[in-house]
Amino acid sequence: MENSTEVTWFILLGLTNNPHLKLPLFITFLLIYTITLAGNLGMFLLILLDYRLHTPMYIFLSNLSLVDFCYSSTITPNVIAGLLTEDKIMSYNACASQMFFFSTFANVENYLLVSMAYDRYVAVCKPLRYATTMTTNVCACIVIGCYIFGILNAAICTVDALSLSFCETNVVHHFFCDVLAVMIVSCSERHVNELVLIYAASFNIFCALLFILISYMFIFTNILKMHSAAGYRKALSTCASHFTAVSIFYGTVTFMYVQPSSSHSMDIDKISSVFYTMVIPMLNPLVYSLKNKDVKSAFTKIVVKSR
């Protein structure tokens, strides 16, 4: 890749050039990142320390929190530092690393949400088989598989983007090294590379979303057949948090990729990217903890012990 490029660094234009917006954005993003760190690391440690939460659902949730922390940390600190110092330069290697790690964690989150949908399907539709189906070893294999496929997919996308030549311009119209934004500044023919990226991303998102929708179709069908009001409420509460997280994540992704070409622009991409790189990682621990009695109980127990 070094032989095919003359560019050794990129200039990221960032979110805005308006000096009056930089301080408010800095304060807003710093607050969001602080809540993201506290929420996700807190959720991860809470599940790790409380043996009552060592169940399949919380194993997936702990990894989701870890991934949210990691992929937010791949982007947000650089954005915050850029708003404060106005340093818009990123080296070629740093850009490649950011592209790879962000793509890895985003893909792992995609696969984890699918795994959690399967877990909820077994819990609601096959409750008597749940303990034998979702064993610790099975959960560990699923989680490891999520990370392996996430890394492989990210490697394909990163190599696909950086196999292009960069020689005419190094100005990236984004606030981080997004794969598509970097590919646009290439001076070589990129049509095939863009198709590879679009097909790979579309395949992953479509298959994941299809699997989740089918799982919830069976879940809701099973819930409607329940005659017990208590069982009905328990089944709904079991799936509510995951369904909310899925709606937020895939809703944002769908908004980005189904826009008409006439209205699609890098400015809209930036706004959407702020949501899924910074806001979603902050929301997930809140979604899973606000109405979760087990999490509240574990948190209360730790607080009482610390006194």
The strand pairing partners of 90, in sequence order, are 10
CA-closest candidate to residue 79, choices 66, 105, 97, 98: 98
Q: Return d(Cα 73, Cα 277) in angstroms, integer.
A: 9
42: domain CATH number is 1.20.1070.10
Residue 199 near residue 38, CB atoms below 8 Å: no
Domain span holding position 21: 2-306
- The total number of structural domains in the chain stands at 1
Q: 């069908």: which residue's tokens?
A: 221
268-274 own/partner pairs: CB under 8 Å, 24+ apart: 269/174, 269/178, 269/180, 269/181, 270/15, 270/174, 270/175, 273/174, 273/175, 273/176, 273/178, 274/15, 274/175
Question: What's the rounded Cα separation, in Å, for the pair 115 and 109?
Answer: 10
On whether the CB atoms of residues 98 and 75 are closer than 8 A, the answer is: yes
Query: pLDDT tens per residue, the chain (307 residues)?
Result: 444 446 788 888 888 778 888 889 999 999 999 999 999 998 998 888 888 888 888 899 999 999 999 989 999 999 998 888 877 888 889 999 999 999 999 999 999 999 999 999 998 888 889 989 999 899 999 999 999 999 999 999 899 888 888 877 788 888 898 888 888 888 888 888 888 888 888 888 889 999 999 998 998 888 877 776 666 676 677 677 788 888 888 877 766 655 544 444 556 677 778 888 898 899 888 887 766 777 777 767 776 666 6
